[in-house]
Amino acid sequence: MKTQVGIIGSGPAGLLLSQLLHLRGIANVVLERQSREYVLGRIRAGVIEPGAVELLREARVHAWLEREGQIHEGIGISFGGRRHRIDFRALTGSCVTVYGQTEITRDLFAARDSLSGVIIHDAEDVTPHGIETDAPWLTWCKGGASHRVDCDFIAGCDGFHGVSRRSIPANVLRTFEKVYPFGWLGVLSRTPPVTREVTYNHHERGFALCSMRSETLSRYYVQCSLDDHIDEWSDDRFWEELRRRLPGDIARALVTGPSIEKSIAPLRSFVAEPMRHGRLFLAGDAAHIVPPTGAKGLNLAASDVHYLSRAFAAWYESGDAGAMDTYSDHCLRRVWKAERFSWWMTTLLHHFPENGPFGERIQLAELDYLVNSRAAMTALAENYVGLPY
């Protein structure tokens, strides 16, 4: 088999890149080690920046997003028993869209299927070869047989635990990481959201987040210990703890119900540099991870795909390698700004017992400054709705 771009991973980054390349006449093959059902079963965040919405529109997968997505013109930040609103529209003239990552992935699969895109699921032991040559290739196993695809370039969109980043020599790759000393316990429930917009809650017992997937589907999180186990958290215990961390009026309005999905996610900040080595390009979680506090994970993957799709297009349309040569630098400038914002939101809103009473007072002082300063609110809003590509 031969193609122009071999793509590892069928998450949103891999599928979006595949779709954009196809629309520009660039042949590609997507290799995915999991089944489609498994990929679609992953529950992820769904706050979409305007830039990512435009990219989905360019990829012609915007119909359901525009029909079902919820436009949010702000967020809430609560502390000291009160909720304060950050008005994105008034501060920046922009807003975000709430639309689940699972739905985006489903839309992208449907688009690739409608154009007869080649997506190979259950591809085991995917391995890049010859990435430092002009003729790289990929091998994998399926059904007891070995397979190979020759390509011009390889796009590694296979996530944090994938093979792509590990294929870059250790003497080339640099990694930067911060692991936070807590996790998020998340619950998905078929209940109406308690607030009309996403609300971040700072509390002495720990952080809490009230978010939503639709008008009837809610997603809630509470900060928890990394030593906690899911079986220790009954639904009743979760709802009780969530209520304790919310302002009184919001707690009283909370509608509870059985959990559809429940999980504990650790929080980390991670960046790999460079995002290109030879003919291998990293995109999305393969290159960087952000704590979910700033809603940047999916949006950073989209910005990577923005740069990468245009770099490949320039090469195939005119032989111009300039955008490929600057791909890593362009991506990393935006990545590090998103890492900074996500780190700041995380340190501002979570409970850090090791910081003691002084640290708690500093957090409260910064929160008070934030909600009473137009300049501070504007800085938050600009980063939340997304910095320009």
Active site residues: 72, 200, 292, 296, 384
Find tokens 């979409």 and name the residue. Answer: 48
Residue 254 has φ and ψ, to the nearest 5°, of -65, 125
Residues making up the chain, counted from first to last: 389
The strand pairing partners of 146, in sequence order, are: 141
- State both tokens at 318: 């005119």
CA distance 211 to 124: 36
User: Residue 190 half-sphere exposure, CB side, CA atoms within 13 Å?
Assistant: 2
CA distance 214 to 116: 31
Q: Which amino acid is at 281?
A: F
Sign of the dihedral through C-alpha 215, 216, 217, 220:
positive
Q: Residue 179, exposed/middle/buried by CB under 10 A (0-12, 13-18, 19+)? A: exposed
